[in-house]
Amino acid sequence: MKRLIIALIVGMFLSVQVRTQEPTKTIAERLGYPRDAKLLIVHADDLGMAHSVNVATIKGLQTGLVNSGSIMVPCPWLPEIAAYARANPQADLGLHLTLTSEWANLRWGPVSPKDRVASLLDKDGYFYLTETDAAAHADPKQVEMEITAQIERAKALGIQPTHLDSHMGTLYQSKELFEVFLRVARNQKLPVRVAKTWAARADYLSSALGPDDVYIDRVLDINPTVGPQDWAKFYSDALKKLEPGVTEVVIHLAHDDAEMQGATANHPDWGASWRQRDFEYFTSETFRKVLQENQIKLITWRELGKLIK
């Protein structure tokens, strides 16, 4: 008995030793980069929402400075971005799974038959305007049906998504929805936008993740408190002090044109001029220099997806 106890104690000690000697690899290391590498995904959301969004984002992708994006399958301009995806199979395009329709003048609804996803729809037959209303009404089974239908529709149109994220974060609003999201993503063997730093927001955002899930260190995004004149400074400052690991900067590109002004009327946040400013910064020489001077390396969701077994 004594021997057994000693053996167990020694065993526990050795186990602790081994863990100390081989700490869990960071996501950067799993990708083959040094632990202190500063890795960045420059990701444009909302593809397919409007022509203006598609045009500006495609221009951004063509510069190489914007290197990833995600597509809203229920939106009217999906066919235009699907044609781009088919013609550019190397592009790092994912799906921006969509359960909200947030603008007053321009709206959309589900890919699934409406009577089968009634919990996702407002009285006008569109997705709810806000992520909180969407999450409050959503039946998780209908969410699973709808997001699966969005993935299938995208694939049928020749889009091979490299990752999944959630428009307006609806799928992060509750544990139940997040579990649906992870289950669908695991079935598809696709990485999802989840950041290590989000654990503080809600327990379920970290506890639901397992050792085989691939997630990033943090998301960087601008917010309405930044004035238009401080736009470039906000991004450049944030990038100059970028921490090691994988950061996704989530941006919204479009032109400040009639269509986008009409779509986002009376809603300056994430509106037409906001998106034009994002477009200007992320296609600028300023941004290119900040990347170079701060040894920031661009990576894609495609690379992250390769870690999934």
Q: How many helices (H) and strands (E) does the chain have?
A: 13, 7
Residue owning tokens 């088919």: 86
Residue 62 binds a second copy (CB under 8 A): no
**104 binds a second copy per the rule CB under 8 A:** yes
| Least distance to a second copy, CB of residue 269, Å | 19
DSSP string, 75-124: STTHHHHHHHHHH-TTS-EEEEE--B---SSS----SS-GGGSGGGB-TT
Q: Residue from 13, 228, 258, 297 that binds a second copy (CB under 8 A)?
A: 258
Percent helix, strand and coil across the chain, each to the nearest 5: 50, 15, 40
Give the dihedral sign, CA 60/64/68/70: positive
Return the number of the residue (176 or 259) whose C-beta is nearest a second copy.
259
Q: What x/- string results for residues 19 through 58 when contact with a second copy is judged by CB under 8 A?
A: -------------------------------xxx-xx---
Report in angstroms how near the CB of residue 111 gets to a second copy at its nearest.
Answer: 7
Q: Choose which of 43, 167, 193, 255 interacts with a second copy (CB under 8 A).
A: 255
β-pair type (245-251, 296-298): unpaired
259 near a second copy, rule: CB under 8 A: yes
Question: Counting contacts by CB under 8 A, is residue 257 touching a second copy?
Answer: yes
CB of 199: closest distance to a second copy in angstroms? 38
- Least distance between a second copy and beta carbon 241 (Å): 37
Q: What span, in angstroms and rounded, lies between the C-alpha atoms of 47 and 43?
A: 11
Check binding of 122 to a second copy (CB under 8 A): no
In terms of CB distance, is 144 or 259 closer to a second copy?
259
> DSSP string spanning 180-239?
HHHHHHHHHT--B--BGGGGGT-THHHHT--TT---BSEEE---TTS-GGGHHHHHHHHH
User: Nearest distance from residue 201's CB to a second copy, in Å?
Assistant: 32
Counting contacts by CB under 8 A, is residue 59 touching a second copy? Answer: no
Measured distance CA(194)–CA(196) in Å, rounded = 7
- Applying CB under 8 A, the span of 7-15, 33-41, 101-109, 159-167 interacting with a second copy comes to 101-109
| Cβ-contact 40, 299 below 8 angstroms | yes
Q: How many other CB atoms are there within 10 angstroms of residue 225's CB atom?
A: 7
Restricting to residues 77-96, name those near a second copy by CB under 8 A.
77-80, 83
Q: Which residues touch 91 (CB under 8 Å, ≥6 apart)? A: 61, 69, 84, 85
Q: Does 140 bind a second copy (CB under 8 A)?
A: no
266 contacts a second copy (rule: CB under 8 A): no
* Contacts with a second copy, residue ranges (CB under 8 A): 50-52, 54-55, 75-80, 83, 104-108, 111-116, 123-125, 153, 156-157, 255, 257-259, 262-263
